[in-house]
Structure 1
Amino acid sequence: MRLLLMSDTHLPKRAKELPAALMAEVPRADVVLHAGDWVDTATLDLLESRSRRLVAVYGNNDGPALRARLPEVAHADLGGLRFGVVHETGAAQGREARCAARFPGLDVLVFGHSHIPWDTTAPGGPRLLNPGSPTDRRRQPYCTYMTATAADGTLVDVELHRLPRR
């Protein structure tokens, strides 16, 4: 099962549209996971229409229209793994222990908010993945997103993709 992970798209504030390289991945993915901060409903509509399956949450920058359509936390069983998606996990220090306590039973937690790519595993807890942002790199050298494969209870081929600078 091919997965596409993104977060913090912030359209149209940070960019006018999602990058072409990212959009080219959408039809290749069995599931698209979006960890919030959409800002506009048009981006949600676009991904709902082009994705085979979308697992998504709202973020702190998402207003009432998005919050009415999306949960704060989403769960999905994908490729034999239990996934969670949330926007914010708090400060980097102590993140692994905090997420293991807050999300018991998860194998993978996808999150956003910081725009900083992250890939660690909490001792006795979930693998934590932040795909960064495809539209707002902030202090990072590149805008980013992730792909991965979930199969037979294993997550493999986790890859952080750098997008060309605009």
Structure 2
Amino acid sequence: MKIIVISDTHMPKRAKQLPKVLLEEVMKADLLIHAGDWTTISLYEELKELAPIQGVYGNVDSDEIRDIFEDHILLDIQGHKIGVTHGHLGKAKSTPERAMETFSKNPAELIIFGHSHIPYLKKHKDVILFNPGSPTDKRFQRQYSFGILEINSNLSVRHHFFDLKH
């Protein structure tokens, strides 16, 4: 199973359209996971035509997005527990720490989060923490990015980095 993981698209403020490289991967995916800060409902409407979607809302999302999505979800995909949160709820901790805390009572094998726009992939004890970065708003990062999660008997997650937005 191939899953594309994105976050912090901030559309249409940061981009008028999604990068071609991302769209090509989404069309080959079995599932798309968005970790929040979509900004408007039109992006959701566009993406749901390309692939099945799971996601959460972020701190800048519209009420329409908040009506569709929760602040965090725990998915069971082929026996793997995958937590998804934007990572903005809570105080005085780093974004990865807030993401882990969100699933402290419902453990996950993989926790996907966003908010910082900083690509992140680290294992903490038995949990993989993953931030795909942003495909449209790299902020202070060298490149734009999104994630590719492959599930066979094991989980395999990696970043896909690229330079051009379109």
Please, what TM-score do these two structures have when normalized by structure 1?
A: 0.89
Q: How does 1:101-120 map to 2 (within 5 A)?
A: 102=104, 104-120=106-122
Distance 2:132 2:49 in 1: 22
Q: Is the 8 A contact 1:142 1:164 kept in 2?
A: yes
How many residue pairs match? The answer is 162
CA displacement at 1:96 relative to structure 2: 8.3
Q: How does 1:16-165 map to 2 (within 5 A)?
A: 16-51=16-51, 53-88=52-87, 91-92=93-94, 95=97, 98-99=100-101, 102=104, 104-124=106-126, 126-152=127-153, 154-156=154-156, 158-165=157-164
Q: Could you say what secondary structure the match of 1:9 adopts?
A: coil
Percent identity reads 35
CA displacement at 1:105 relative to structure 2: 2.1
* Deviant stretches of 4+, over 3 Å: 89-94, 96-101
Superposed CA offset, 1:70-90 (max 9, x none): 111122111321111100166
Distance 1:117 1:94 in 2: 11
Please, what TM-score do these two structures have when normalized by structure 2?
A: 0.89
CA displacement at 1:104 relative to structure 2: 3.4
